[in-house]
Structure 1
Amino acid sequence: MTAQPPASPPRTDTGVLAGELRVALASLVRRLREQADGTDLTRSQSSVLLRLEREGPATATALARAEGVRPQSMAKIVQALESAGLVGGAPDPKDGRKTLLSLTDAAREEFRTGRLAKQDWLTKALDTTLTAEEIDRLASVTDLLRRLAQFP
């Protein structure tokens, strides 16, 4: 009688896993957004603010290109953000005809307090919902999630 190699465990169906991850992460992101709500910003306005925070000052034309919107649409977004006191403009040192848009101190403070609210909520959720072993398991996958987020 010949020895049979041990059966390998069934492989996880990546298509099913992708669907489950998408739903779970979307729910978590929604819950995190709820924690810092209180602004009446549209997604487009929030996206522009996040881009300015991440990448620094930019012209409205560069923002429109990066966000994939028409310059006229970006002009409306920028106007709303300026009216709310979240974005300010200054002459571009390389080309005085252009205006560089950047975050105001008020926008930076909103980001800071919003992030703190989200982190506080998530800390409480982790501490009250998961066991110590589950928290360790979750910690072990954060690097994997970061790598997935970098995929083109």
Structure 2
Amino acid sequence: MATPTPDIAMATASELRVLLGKLKRRLREESGSHGLSWPQVSVLGHLERDGSKTVTELAELEGVRQQSMGATVASLETAGLLKGTPHPTDGRRTILSLTPKARAWVKASRAAREDWLFHTIQTRLSPTEQKKLAGAVELLKRLVEP
């Protein structure tokens, strides 16, 4: 088996980066954000995937200042999507978690994205192409494995 040249790997990396960016933006469009900003959606995603967090932890995850995250969190609390409980060992801190309303929103948003992707794959790709795509997904998984 011939080894790919660095030129092929570089061209593939560049195309893949651009393509994944476009796919991410399209999936974001299909999520039905219902007036939520991308930072708000991102916070809901972190809490849904990783569990409860403090404002400081969320700010670190997002790479923003605590004050900025505080504003994002406050708007989500006002919308009834987050609830805060006192930290068990540090009364100055609050542990944030999703409300049932937020969990339903995350579930519906995820379902909308998956539904769009499912229908797009089904309608735009032949069965043979769908199998190739499934194989490519396995290769992509290897790129992100530690």
Superposition TM-score, scaled by structure 1 size:
0.84
1:79 to 66, 74, 93: 74
Residue of structure 2 in register with 1:117 after alignment: 112
Residue of structure 2 in register with 1:50 after alignment: 45
Shift of 1:9: 7.9
Query: Of the two, which has the highest radius of gyration?
Result: 1
Shift of 1:14: 1.0
- Give the unaligned 5+ runs of structure 1: 1-7
Alignment of 1:74-113 (within 5 A): 74-113=69-108
Corresponding letter in the other structure for 2:99: T
Q: Determine if the alignment matches structure 1 residue 59 to structure 2 residue 17.
A: no
| Contact residue 47 and residue 97 of structure 2 kept, 8 A | yes
Residue of structure 2 in register with 1:145 after alignment: 140
RMSD value, Cα: 2.1
Q: Determine if the alignment matches structure 1 residue 32 to structure 2 residue 27.
A: yes
Shift of 1:10: 6.2
Q: More displaced, 81-90 or 21-30? A: 21-30
Larger helix fraction of residues: 2
- Give the unaligned 5+ runs of structure 2: none
SS of the counterpart of 1:13? Answer: helix
The count of aligned residue pairs is 145
What is the aligned-residue identity percentage? 46
